[in-house]
Amino acid sequence: MVNLLAPEELQALIKEKCGSREWWVLFATPDMASVISAIEARFYKGPANADFEMVMGFGVVPGEMFFFAHKRRMTRQTLHSWAKGRGVAIPLAGPEQDILIFRGPDPEGQDAAREFMSWLRAMYSGSGLPVRISNDLLN
């Protein structure tokens, strides 16, 4: 299913999903796009794909797209175990961190990640969302 959203509808969607604390926000720079594919293949196959939503916004969304992934399919514990199997530690302690940014070493990717976070914070209007930035997941 494809939904076309006006900017204010996109903002409402972001507030709804992020405010519920039931969804991950996933963003990857182009050199790390395979991470998103790997997450979708591992946790959101078949009927579970209804819990994996791509948001595209050419000229609106920095990086052109990001994803919402429901936590019922990929909890912090399952994400931790999955990442650990790839040699990356994602802490289980501390506050829940709902935004995962996968970026490679490319400076342009780092700029894109910062631009996306600034945009997301503005869309969520100063909510103080906790952030986990991963530089090396699946490098």
Provide the residue ranges of all domains of the chain, joining segments of one domain with +. 20-134
For 83-98, write each residue's pLDDT tens digit.
888 766 565 554 456 8
Tokens matching residue 18: 């992020």
Task: Determine which of 31-35, 47-51, 54-58, 86-90 has the lowest per-residue pLDDT on average.
Answer: 86-90
Residue 137 — pLDDT band, cuts 50, 70, 90? Answer: very low
Phi, psi of 99 (to 5 degrees): -115, 120
Quick one: pLDDT at residue 43?
95
- Is residue 37 predicted with pLDDT exceeding 50? yes
- Is residue 138 predicted with pLDDT exceeding 70? no
Beta-bridge partners for 55: 66
Residue 139 — pLDDT band, cuts 50, 70, 90? Answer: very low
**For residues 50-56, average pLDDT:** 90
Q: What is the 3-state secondary structure (H, E, C) of 73-128?
A: CCCHHHHHHHHHCCCCCCCCCCCCCCEEEECCCCHHHHHHHHHHHHHHHHHCCCCC
Higher pLDDT, 64 or 53: 53
Quick one: pLDDT at residue 135?
46
